[in-house]
Amino acid sequence: MFAEKQVIEGCIKGDRLAQEALYNRFSGKMLAVSKRYLKDLESAEDAFQEAFVKVFTHLKNFTFQSSLETWMTRIFINESINKLRSMKRLALQVNIDDQTRQFAENFEEAPDKFDAELVMMLMEKLPENYKIVLMMYAIDGFSHKEISEKLNMPESTSRSSLTRARSMLWQLYKNEQKNHESRRI
């Protein structure tokens, strides 16, 4: 059983067994967070390692106002975004092109249930900055204000990027469903 408070106290004291327990408990989920933001496995693993160093370094500042997992997830997201910035892969300016304007803004046709695996695969096809905003907002629960601060963009750009990401994702999903239907016939 994972006794969170005792493990945290042990980590703060430098107890290697406590650090190992914390790592073993959260490494899988946190690597998945890094991989969501960074397509390249090597970059994701670098961000993952750097984030764990920050977790152990700053664990003494954890105030128990949120769950440990939530606190750690924020660190891993921030480190992944920092890695993206350092790789200069995250263009923080949004280019509105004709293709983007074509996507419908009407989501009334959306089914009650989506194939989550398919949606995650389709997210990989989104432009990098749209994907990042969508993940931060819809998956990781950041507000537009937080996104704008983390990505150094106006809140309005965060909102429009989210709208465009949703629209593009919906169009990709509909196209995939249409392709699937035509293969069944």
Taking only the tens of pLDDT, the chain with its 185 residues reads 468 899 999 999 999 999 999 999 999 999 999 999 988 899 999 999 999 999 999 999 999 888 999 999 999 999 998 888 887 654 444 444 434 444 444 444 545 455 677 777 888 889 988 999 998 998 888 999 999 998 888 999 999 999 999 999 889 988 887 877 776 66
Phi-psi region of 88 (alpha: psi -120 to 50; beta: other; left: phi over 0): left
- CATH: 3.40.50.740, 3.40.50.300, 3.40.50.10240, 1.10.1740.10. Which one for 4-86? 1.10.1740.10
CATH number assigned to the domain covering 98-184:
1.10.10.10
Q: Are 30 and 48 in contact (CB under 8 A)?
A: yes
> H/E element holding 113?
none
CA 175 to chain centre: 24
Listed by start position, the domains of the chain span 4-86, 98-184
Q: If DSSP codes are grouped into helix, strand and coil, which group holds residue 128?
A: helix
